[in-house]
Structure 1
Amino acid sequence: MRLFSTWLSGLAFSPLALAFWPSSDVYNSVQVPESPYNNDQPKVKVETLFQFPNNGSWIDNMVVRSDGNLLLTRLDTPEVWQVNTTSGNATLVHSFPNVTSCFGISEIADDVFAVVIGDFDSKTYQPTAGSFSVQKLDFSKKNATQDERALAGPTASEIAAVPESLALNGMATFAQDSNLVLVADSLMGVIWKVDTETGDYAVALNHTTMTAAPGPLPLGINSCTVLGEYVYYTSTTRMQYCRVKVDKEANAVGDYEVIASGFLPDNIELTPDGTAYIPTDPQNGVVRITPLGQIALVAGGQISMEMPGPTSTRLSKDRDVLYVGTSGGQIAPVLGTFTEPAKVVKITLQS
Structure 2
Amino acid sequence: MKIPLVDLKAQYASIKDEIDEAVNRVISSAKFILGEEVENFERKFANFVGAKYAVGVGSGTDALYLALRALGIKNGDEVITTTFTFVATTEAITLVGAKPVLVDIDDRTYNINPDAIESAITPRTRAILVVHLYGQPANMDAIVDVARKHNLYIIEDCAQAHAAMIKNIHVGNFGDVGCFSFYPGKNLGAYGDAGAVVTNNEDLYKKVKMLRNHGRESKYIHEFEGVNSRMDAIQAAVLSVKLKHLEEWTRKRIENAKRYNELLSGINEVVVPYVADNFRHVYHIYAILVPERDRVYEYMRESGVGVGIHYPVPVHLQPAYKYLGHKKGDFPVSERVSESVLSLPMYPELRYDMQEYIVSKLKEALHR
Q: Give the TM-score normalised by the residue count of structure 1.
A: 0.29
Q: Quick check: which one's strand share is greater?
A: 1
* Larger radius of gyration between Structure 1 and Structure 2: 2
Q: Quick check: which one's helix share is greater?
A: 2
Q: Give the TM-score normalised by the residue count of structure 2.
A: 0.28
